Homo-oligomer: A and B are copies of this chain.
Amino acid sequence: MSNADQSTDVSEGSSGDEYAVSVPEGRGRDRDADGAASTIIESRDLSVWYNDNQALQSVSMEIPEKRVTAMVGPSGCGKSTYLRSINRMNDLIDAARVEGEMLFNGKNVYDDDVDPVALRRRIGMVFQQPNPFPKSIYDNVAYGLRLQDRTENLDEKVEEALRKAALWDEVKDQLDESGLDLSGGQQQRLCIARAIAVDPEVVLMDEPASALDPVATSKIEDLIDEMAEEYTVVIVTHNMQQAARISDKTAVFLTGGELVEFDDTEKVFENPENDRVEDYITGKFG
C-alpha cells in the first residue's frame, strides 16, 4: 500500500508542488558545466501522420551529443513516433508519412540518398519489451557485428559490450545459453549490449524499464547514466521521477503530438514555462 501512503500527503498539502518531482542534486550539472554540448540530432518542423491521423505536429528540437535526453508526455502523444522517426523505423509502417527534416550530424536522414539501414547501424535502439533473439547470449550480442561483417576480434567485442551493459559478470559462464533464459532485467541489459556492440553514436530507448521490476529498473538507470559518457542517449519514459533522475534534457509532448517544452531537465521540472506542462508533471492528468 505504499502507493496509498505516498499520496496521503496530498490531503495535508499546502503548496502547489506536492507532486513536483525533485531533480537529484548534481545530476546533469557535471556534464552541463562544460558548456552546451554540440547538437547531434536536430528536427525541424517534423510532422508525422499515420494515414490521416497526425501524430506529431511540427516538432523542432536539438538533441545534444553525449547527453541523456528524455521525452515525456501522456500516452499517445507521439513520443515513440518521434523516437522512431530519428532512425527511420517508421519506414517499416506502411501508414506512416513524414514531413519536415530530421538532421543527424547535419544531414537530413529523410534525404533520398540516405540509406535507412546504414542509418540504423549508427543509431541503436532498445525497446519497451526486452526482445532478445532466440539465440545464444553470445550470438545476440554478435548479431549486429555479423550483420556488418565486422567479425574480427568478435569475442573481445562481445565481452566489451556485455561489460558496458553491466552484464558480463552475470553471464560470462553461460554465453552459449539462450538469451531467452535470462531474467527480464538481464534480457533488457542484453538488448542494450546488443545495441552498443556495434558502437553506435546514438542509442534510442523506448520506455526501456517499464516492463521491469524496481531493482532491474535501477540497474538500467545506472547503466544509462554511464552510457552517456560515450553515447548520445534518447529515452522515452512515462515515469517523471525516472526522467528527472537520469536525463540532462527533457522534452515534454502533449496530446496531439505537440512539443510544448524542451529544456534542461532541472528547468523543466522545477520551473516549467508552460502551465499545461506543470499540470502534467505534477500528475494532474495524463
How many chain copies does the complex carry? 2
CA gap between A1 and B279 in the complex, in Å? 11
**Residues of the B chain whose Cβ atoms lie less than 8 Å from the Cβ of A282:** 10-11
Determine whether A13 belongs to the interface, using a CB cutoff of 8 Å to chain B.
yes
Q: Which of A1-28 contact B (CB under 8 A)?
A: 1, 3-4, 7-8, 10-13, 15-17, 19
Q: Which of A65-84 contact B (CB under 8 A)?
A: none
**Residues of the B chain whose Cβ atoms lie less than 8 Å from the Cβ of A275:** 4, 8
CA gap between A280 and B19 in the complex, in Å? 17
Instruction: Name the contact of A279 in the complex, choosing from B8, B12, B19 (C-beta under 8 A).
Output: B8
Q: A10-B284, A11-B282, A282-B11 are in contact. Are A276 and B4 (CB under 8 A)?
A: yes
Nearest-Cβ distance from residue A74 to partner chain B, whole angstroms:
10
- Please classify how large the interface on chain A is, using the bins under 10, 10 to 19, 20 to 34, 35 or more: 20 to 34
Instruction: Name the contact of A7 in the complex, choosing from B8, B11, B12, B279 (C-beta under 8 A).
Output: B279
Instruction: Name the contact of A284 in the complex, choosing from B4, B12, B276, B284 (C-beta under 8 A).
Output: B4
- Give 8 A-B pairs besides A4-B280, A8-B275 with Cβ atoms closer than 8 angstroms: A3-B284, A3-B285, A4-B275, A4-B276, A4-B284, A7-B285, A8-B284, A13-B13
